[in-house]
Chain A
Amino acid sequence: MIENAWVAWLILLLPLAAFVIIGLLGRWLRDGSGYVAVAAMLGSLVLSLYVFVQVLAQGAIGGNFAAQTIAGYVWLPSIPGNEIRISLLIDNLSSLMLVLVSFLCLLIFIYSLGYMHEEEGKPRYYAEVSLFATGMLGTVSADNFLQLLIFWEIMGLCSYLLIGFWYHKPEAAAAAKKAFLVTRVGDVLFLIGVLVIWNEFGTLRFNEIAPRVGLLSPQLLTLIPLLLFGGAVGKSAQFPLHAWLPDAMEGPTTVSALIHAATMVKAGVYLTARSFIFLVPLAPGVQPPFTAILVIAGIGGFTAIFAATMAVVNNDIKRVLAFSTISQLAYMFLGLGAGAYVMATEAVNGEPVNSAGYSAALYHLFNHAFFKALLFLSAGSVIHAVHTNDMREMGGLSKSMPITSRVMLFGSLALAGIIPFSGFFSKGEVLSVTFDAGADHPGFYLLYVLGLFTAFLTAFYAFRLWFMTFHGEYRGHEHLHESPRVMTTPLLILAGFTLISGLLAYPMQGFGNLVFFGRPEAGFPLVGIPPVHYLLEALSLGVAGLGIGLAWSIYETKRIPAERFTRAPGGAFIHRMLTKRYWIDDAYDAFGRTVVYGLAHGLDWFDRTVIDGIVNAVARGGMRVAVESDVFDRRVIDGAVNALSLETVRTSWRLRQRQTGQVQNYAWVVVVGIVAVVVLLFGFSFLQRFLAGR
């Protein structure tokens, strides 16, 4: 049991409090808002370490720590035992991720104090990154899929807001929209997956689902991980939903480093790791969903080389790194897929499962978070000095920016996978596992070759970037200066981690001994492995060296002119295809223009002709009725009224004529009246007598 487990809530709530405080009081805090965010993040880091140290002390290494749920409150009440709670899950993976995320957030927040110094809208920036930190910390500590989805979406929102931080730039606004919409495709799949899980199990908690996976039908067992993987594809920018990440580089570089390299895009890998309960059901007699595993590994292997080729031709320093991020994330998916395949095969055969691929992918996640954050922040430092993203206007910066130049060299070596930098260990393990999986399914040999070629391309573009930026002659026109201490210090810390984060596996007897699925495995990196693995490690080191050598001869010594590759028609075509990003963005745009706009046009036409027609016809009918009733009103009703009044006037006029005012006229009338009465009386009595007489 973890002591003072409630402090884990503060890990999430401190950045949330920073968000609220900065959001409400940012106008008065101004520059102080950055310090509020840093202080909150420092608190989160300390508490995360406190939790992590307890987890370690209670035997996480070696698998003696039982996952622990820190019960929160009931969010959606239901029948007892079935309600949806907001709770935190503390196990090996989540406690490690909490430390990783809060540490990187802290370093990047500190760096932001320098990088964002001259920006307008700093309170907005710090409020949004604090909210983002809450989202990421919540994602990795969620106890159930729904809670994970909620924090996942908070991250998506913050990603949108921060990509569009310079919203007055049309490209940034468009990139923000693109990121939001493209990831939305994946998020919808994820949501469907969550609903299917709820429908099948009546619970969303990882720990309650895991023992009951065997009850699923094989179709659903394949469908659920694929739906969850759909969410991961969107969030981690894998093919075919990769298009948003390069454009997301329109945001501030700190945002790119934090959200689009170190943390948020890793959430997809984390989700796929959590969905191992479906991929590798440890209950006996359950057929694992091999199809879903192959899809995951295949998309990983393909995206790795696909993104790496595009990184080779790009001239935007941040976009090269963005493509590199996609490619490295794809390595993690490849590792997860290959690892799951190996484990699933072993589980079916009744052998003890070996979670090497699972831990290799998470190992790469861990290492990549450090070196890619370092690369992005160094790129930010460069951009801070030269005020452009275009590498063709850089060059020779190592003289004026020695610290940045050196730390970026560290990052590039880690990315390329050169021993003893961190990338070497984890990338080598991912490739080894993929090779091992080839024994179970020959397709993995193809994926291994793709991965190996990607390693070559990775080393090439990493050093192409480094040589173009820091070597040769300066091609721009800015006054160059090294970045302030507040920026270089986080860089130096991260550079240190590119060296030691790989070696951190040694004190825990292999990363797989800390983060594992099913069964812990003790085993030092590079120690006691099968001989073929030494060969594989040497091979990946060799291709990385080859890539660096090629970059050296093209961009440093210029012994091989770069034009040679684009002169031949075939080469020119490939170059064009790569710079156009395989026309996929264009195809998506065209899809949007033709299909979506076409649909919209069709609906518009329908609206204008049919709906408007009906409405107008009704209106015209109404008008006609009104006109008719007006005529009726005027002619008949008014006619009757007028005729009546006219007749009254006429009659009164005629009667008036009788009132002459001459007394003698009146006298005449009186006399005539009397005579008439007399005549009538006499006539009447005469008539009576006459009738009686008969």
Chain B
Amino acid sequence: MRREIPMILTGFVGFVYIIQFFVPHAPFDIMEGLLTDWMLIIFAFAIWLGALNLLKVSLDKIYRKGKDWQYSIVTVFGFLLIAIPGFFFSGGRRFQDPGTAFDYIYQNVYTPLSATMFAMLAFFVASASYRAFRARTKEATMLLLAAFVVMLGRVPVGDMITQWLPEGYRLSQVADWIMNYPNMAGQRAIMIGIGLGIVSTSLRLILGIERSHLGGEE
């Protein structure tokens, strides 16, 4: 019961979408439209689950006084910092309008924190390149050379250095060629491989051969 109903549900919904692709007429198009709309709602709940779970874990940590529990207070505070203005002081459905309290927190707290968190990767990319990017083998050297050409060719300085070369051989043009031919071919091979992998995994899921998402018997 705990596994059978979800398995039937997966198979039924999966087949509706497959049939609708080939027969985009009633009743399949209507079913597909309805199921799609339902999915958008279920997705929202799934993300709510993530947010609520974070709150639960944080509150639990504060209650148990776990390691670094003080930071969990900050996490809960952060949640409320944007949720309270968003729900009560930002004009309801117009919460995203420029100038609302929600917008203020978005611009001055969320944006700098998230942007800087990802920007930090620049430092680590540079440091890792220095320590680990070695031309040890022929393959690694090819990788390195391709990276050099692309890095130089994708900024104006590349063309400045190779201005003396004839048209078509300057770094920006060589980088264009690498991106559009060897890179494209390699990416296409990866893409076809992944595509076929997704197709076979989807089929296994729909037919109930792959059941890992249903978990064990609890």
A binds B: no
Residue positions of B touching A, CB distance < 8 A: none
